[in-house]
Structure 1
Amino acid sequence: MDKYNTNDPTTYRHCTVENLNGIRIHYIDENSSSQKVLLLLHGFPEFWFGWREQIPFLVSKGYRVIAPDLRGFGETSCPESAEVYGHKTVSDDLVALLDYLQIPTVTVVAHDWGGAVAWRFTQYYPERTLAVAVFNTPYFPPNKTYVPLEKVVEALPNFRYQMRFCAADCDQELDADPEAFFKRILRLHTEAAGPLYDAENDSIIRGRPQLERSKAITEEQLKYYVEQYKRNGFHGALNWYRTTKVKYEESKDLDPIIKHPAMMVTASDDKALPPSMASGMHKFIPNLEMQHIENAGHWVLWEQPAECNRLLDGFLSKVYGNSKL
């Protein structure tokens, strides 16, 4: 739509509300007259801006689009303690926002960490969820016994970077040069830059060469990412990786079966969350639609925006039918 400019975040409708579930929540809220409401949940290290390519399209299709900065990100509050970053607490944030906006039910659309929250939100609040669509992040049923992150990394070595993110001094490493971090992490899958984690230096950016900006990110977009993290630093966002025990305690008694209509979208070249991790989801989500996008990595939302939007359009059309609400 003409009013939106993906290089200019001020062309989106920004809202802020204080003291919801104890924090300030910043969110984008577009087309608020529509009763077909989508709740868009970003991952790390993004914030609402990760949906910049989807918001205009979804609004053009008649949906109300709400894209919050999750706690620890962007202009939303960043509590100090990692104990308050579990998926139940974040889901409670979202329900508080929906209650404030007087929205009874939503379809949750998510990516990366937002995807992990989306699956759990659907379990914690099934009555508030119409359907769920997730990019890249597979569903895992709640563990019945606690598995520490160290054991997870042994089984999934592609998660080794998460151990570095859990280290207390990682906050300072990334705060010292957020531009270098974003130039390293926000890249097309075809732009080789080595692994995210440097085992030799036990670092993400420290002791490593500065990279050029990805051709998929404009200078204006890069500047906005950097500005947002200079606001509050990386501590809140990194706290999401420090909640393995919290998430286990919160979810261990949940029903592992999700009965809602669901779509899972894998990306062919996602090194963090490869498509193979999504195998077997049908056992737990009987109404699951599996989709796949070729020639895309972890940042599929802006690597292949047209294909992401096409898949969303098809799935949401089935959820809402020909409703004119």
Structure 2
Amino acid sequence: MEFLSTPQNCFANLVDYPFAEHFIQVSDNAGGELNLHYVDEGPKDGEVVLMLHGEPSWSYLYRHMITPVVDAGYRVIAPDLIGFGKSDKPTEQGAYTYQTHVDWIRALLLTLKLSEITLVCQDWGGLIGLRLVAEHPDLFARVLAANTMLPTGDHALPEAFHKWKDFSQQVEIFPVAGIIKGATTTSLSESTLAAYNAPFPDESYKAGVRQFPLLVPATPNDPATAANRKAWQVLQRFNKPFITAFSDSDPVTAGGDDIMQKLIPGCQGQHHTTIINGGHFLQEDQPQALTKVLLDFMQANPICTQ
């Protein structure tokens, strides 16, 4: 499989991202291996918080949350999905499937031997992370879902999604930082926008970001539909603590929190919240508010040890 690795000098001037690099190798499903980058901060024996980003961001999205969560005594793992951030980037869109993304993050969990995980997921971080929760419920202790969902294609997706999908395939130059900027409610600095562009020196690096919109199950016969339906069967029995923290200004995922609260038993009795003045990328708009929700949630739902 052909792939690209973003040159290190592209990341030379990152602001507010002081984290050491870590890599594992994962299968490219063609007999080769890809490097998957992840942040690993905090005590190695601390409770694990897994922060999963989505489209078209990378672990940089969580930079304002990682340090305070570590300061609270937890270990934070924040990977870059294959095709994003500092991870390798296959150059053909067809190399990326929903299943391969799930398998690549599964490989991270198993390689690092993570357990009693608290999942924080947004956008595709939820499409991938919630599948893993359903397929490995024994590895997860808690879930915080923010502006995400686990679609099966059995229900119509918002018109905003279909417009986004069309745009992603038709635009000549995929404007990564512009997408982040357009889906936030706050003003982003030039250095922040440059950091979101950093993993993608040119269009040849962007096959993964272009492919993601095509992978969202939008019809009942989508390749991922059966697996997501099966995942929902497990999630509808998942009774470990599960909280939603959606923002008030995201037209794509609005209402997904209500569905999860209704269907997932672990949502019962939790202090679900709507974060005010947050766009789709609420980690950019309201990182302190989302961090507080996370830490309060974890402290209110301690892991029971035998």
Bin of the TM-score, shorter chain as denominator length: 0.7 to 0.9
For the 8 Å contact 1:82–1:240, the answer to whether it is kept is no
Equivalent of residue 233 in structure 1, options 182, 187, 205: 205
**SS of 2:223 mapped into structure 1:** helix
Equivalent of residue 193 in structure 2, options 203, 222, 226: 222
- Tell whether 2:34 aligns with 1:16: no
Cα offsets for 1:60-92 (capped at 9, x unmatched): 011110100012211223332446421x43232
Say if 1:321 and 1:184 are closer, same or farther in 2 by CA, change over 3 A: closer
**SS of 1:50 mapped into structure 2:** helix
- Count of aligned positions: 276
Cα offsets for 1:252-298 (capped at 9, x unmatched): 33325133211111111112222x34223233211213221112221
For the 8 Å contact 2:118–2:141, the answer to whether it is kept is yes
Residue type of the alignment partner of 1:74: G
Runs of 4+ aligned structure 1 residues displaced above 4 Å come to 187-190
1:318 Cα deviation (Å)? 2.7
Say if 1:85 and 1:55 are closer, same or farther in 2 by CA, change over 3 A: same
Residue type of the alignment partner of 1:309: T
C-alpha distance in structure 2 between counterparts of 1:312 and 1:19, whole Å: 29
**Which residues of 2 match residues 283-294 of structure 1 at below 5 A?**
283-288=262-267, 289=270, 290-294=272-276
- Tell whether 2:283 aligns with 1:301: yes
Residue type of the alignment partner of 1:173: I
Residue type of the alignment partner of 1:241: P
The residue aligned with 1:123 is 134
C-alpha distance in structure 2 between counterparts of 1:47 and 1:137, whole Å: 16
C-alpha distance in structure 2 between counterparts of 1:125 and 1:165, whole Å: 35
Residue type of the alignment partner of 1:226: N
**SS of 1:70 mapped into structure 2:** coil
Q: Quick one: percent identity of the two aligned structures?
A: 25
For the 8 Å contact 1:138–1:264, the answer to whether it is kept is no
Say if 1:318 and 1:20 are closer, same or farther in 2 by CA, change over 3 A: farther
The residue aligned with 1:248 is 225
Identify unmatched segments of 5+ residues in structure 1: 191-213
**SS of 2:301 mapped into structure 1:** helix
Equivalent of residue 39 in structure 2, options 20, 23, 28: 28
For the 8 Å contact 1:37–1:64, the answer to whether it is kept is yes
For the 8 Å contact 2:53–2:80, the answer to whether it is kept is yes
C-alpha distance in structure 2 between counterparts of 1:252 and 1:322, whole Å: 30
Say if 1:114 and 1:306 are closer, same or farther in 2 by CA, change over 3 A: same
The residue aligned with 1:314 is 296
Equivalent of residue 281 in structure 1, options 226, 243, 260: 260
The residue aligned with 2:8 is none
Equivalent of residue 70 in structure 2, options 36, 59, 73: 59
**SS of 2:40 mapped into structure 1:** strand
**SS of 1:89 mapped into structure 2:** helix
The residue aligned with 2:156 is 152
**SS of 1:230 mapped into structure 2:** coil
Say if 1:27 and 1:286 are closer, same or farther in 2 by CA, change over 3 A: same
- Tell whether 2:143 aligns with 1:163: no
**SS of 1:62 mapped into structure 2:** coil
1:249 Cα deviation (Å)? 3.8
Cα offsets for 1:122-170 (capped at 9, x unmatched): 1111121111111111455xx4xx55xxx835xx212123331563x54
**SS of 2:284 mapped into structure 1:** helix
The residue aligned with 2:248 is 268
The residue aligned with 1:201 is none
For the 8 Å contact 1:73–1:236, the answer to whether it is kept is yes
1:320 Cα deviation (Å)? 3.1
Residue type of the alignment partner of 1:284: L
- Tell whether 2:106 aligns with 1:95: yes
1:238 Cα deviation (Å)? 2.1
1:230 Cα deviation (Å)? 1.6
1:109 Cα deviation (Å)? 0.7
RMSD (CA atoms): 2.7
For the 8 Å contact 2:147–2:247, the answer to whether it is kept is yes
1:46 Cα deviation (Å)? 0.6
Identify unmatched segments of 5+ residues in structure 2: 1-12
The residue aligned with 1:208 is none
* TM-score, normalised with respect to structure 2: 0.80
Residue type of the alignment partner of 2:178: K
Say if 1:241 and 1:184 are closer, same or farther in 2 by CA, change over 3 A: closer
User: Once structures 1 and 2 are overlaid, which stretch shifts more, 308-317 or 90-99?
Assistant: 90-99
C-alpha distance in structure 2 between counterparts of 1:294 and 1:95, whole Å: 33
Residue type of the alignment partner of 2:101: V
